[in-house]
Amino acid sequence: MPAKRNDKGSILILIVLLVALLAFIPVGTSLLETSRKQVKLQANSYAQATNVARAGLTDAEAWFRMQTVQPVGSTKLGMAYPDAAFYPRGTSGSPKDTDDETIGLVRTFQLGESTNLFARYEVQRQTVNNVVYSTSTNGHAVHDITASRTPPPAQNGDGLIWYIESVGYVYQQKSAAVAYNQSPNVIVGRARVSSELRRMGLVDFDAAAAIVNRGNISVGANCRLMGGNGAYGVVSNSGSGNPANVTGSLGVATTTGTAISIPNIFGLQGYDIRMLADYAVTTANDLPTNYPSTGLVYVDGNAVFDDTHPLTGGGVLIVNGDLTVQSTSNALFSGVIFVQGNASINGPALISGSVFVGGTLTLTGTTDVAQVEYDSQTLNTVRQNVGQYRQNHSAYHVFSALDAKLN
């Protein structure tokens, strides 16, 4: 005869287990909620640290722009090794460049008035004196990479392209008497970002309203190429031209100088400038209706300016193709225009600065004037404002916040 099961006992055991399980649910839920909050806090801290590190890149760019000698390079400054030109000072001046010049560019600031959270970024400089940059030096410190990004004769030390890294920290300041990374202070977020700073140069070519690489130069009625005192009206490396309506104390010149190309004029390749441009488009129709007053515009193709897209502004315009300025554009431009192909400018048009043309240059006017006049002051303004250091955003990189190299 089979033994009778103790059903009441089994049910009791199940009830006890169920009650125990239910008792643990609030504890488990609380642990999950705590874990979720910790993960969210950690993510927020790392996001803040990344933003702090990016602020370091921005301030490093500003530091390079503010230096009186441009470009910022050891060659021009007569320093011993290529990376020496990056040296923020913290011992004098108001305001000082940095909180700690032994490290590089360093800033510490509070995140909100009612919190003990502080932020700090560090952009390190090379501290190995009189040694040319190599793999044995600090690869995370700022260094000149001109030679690896630009064709000869450019070299490291020219200061055209710099590699920049910035480390950002977010920490709880429990004691102002010790460093940010010493107890009882606690680092709650840390991140490293990197980018490149590039400076678009403007080579000192012959002072002229127009410099044409080859082909014919046609200056029609009511049109002028004006060089002014101490400048040419036009300089042509080869080809023929019409010297009529060309003025300037140096007149017209034919030289065998350096060919007109983007690297020879600006010191960078076209794709590099495209990455730095305020506007990089394939046609003038893609530009805003209001052309920038001081900007770097790169058109990778032919560009036609008319009444819907007038050439009214300034800065640097680079056309990697043919340029056509129609009469309906009523062009008024101050700065540098570079045209890889042919350029046709129809009046009314007034361009102050200088025009570089790789093909033929044609100025046409009937009742209205089409005029290009050399202006050294405008060119200096372009060098100072448009040709300044800019971040190459395509080279921007965020390292893992948990990267062992950050420790």
159-172: per-residue pLDDT in tens?
989 999 999 999 99
Domain count, the chain: 2
- Considering the domain architecture, whether residues 374 and 246 belong to the same structural domain is answered as yes
Q: Per mean pLDDT, which range of 115-124, 168-177, 235-244, 315-324 is the poorest?
A: 235-244
Highest mean pLDDT among 95-99, 114-118, 259-263, 311-315: 311-315
100: CB partners within 8 A, 6+ apart: 90, 106
- Considering the domain architecture, whether residues 213 and 151 belong to the same structural domain is answered as no
Distance from C-alpha of 100 to C-alpha of 125, rounded to nearest angstrom: 11
Percentage above 90 pLDDT, the chain: 41
pTM greater than 0.75 (yes/no): no
Domain residues for 147? 43-200+391-406
CB 170, CB 119: distance < 8 Å: yes
Distances (CA, A) of 110 to 51, 84, 116, 180: 14, 31, 7, 12
- Considering the domain architecture, whether residues 152 and 266 belong to the same structural domain is answered as no
- Considering the domain architecture, whether residues 154 and 250 belong to the same structural domain is answered as no
Residue 51 lies in a domain: yes
The separation between the first and the last C-alpha atoms of the chain, rounded to the nearest angstrom, is 74
Residue 64 lies in a domain: yes
Tokens representing residue 137 in the block: 């030096």
Distance from C-alpha of 245 to C-alpha of 253, rounded to nearest angstrom: 14
CA 73 to chain centre: 17
- Considering the domain architecture, whether residues 219 and 367 belong to the same structural domain is answered as yes
pLDDT (0 to 100) of residue 332? 96
DSSP string across 346-392: ESSEEEEEEEEESS-EEEE-SSS-EEEEE-HHHHHHHHHHTSSEEEE
pLDDT (0 to 100) of residue 256? 47
pLDDT (0 to 100) of residue 289? 87
92-112: per-residue pLDDT in tens?
555 689 999 889 999 999 987
Distance from C-alpha of 234 to C-alpha of 209, rounded to nearest angstrom: 6
Evaluate if residue 301 carries a pLDDT over 50.
Answer: yes
- Considering the domain architecture, whether residues 99 and 156 belong to the same structural domain is answered as yes
pLDDT (0 to 100) of residue 405? 40
Distance from C-alpha of 158 to C-alpha of 167, rounded to nearest angstrom: 26
Evaluate if residue 240 carries a pLDDT over 60.
Answer: no
- The single-letter DSSP state of residue 241 is B
340-354: per-residue pLDDT in tens?
999 999 989 999 999
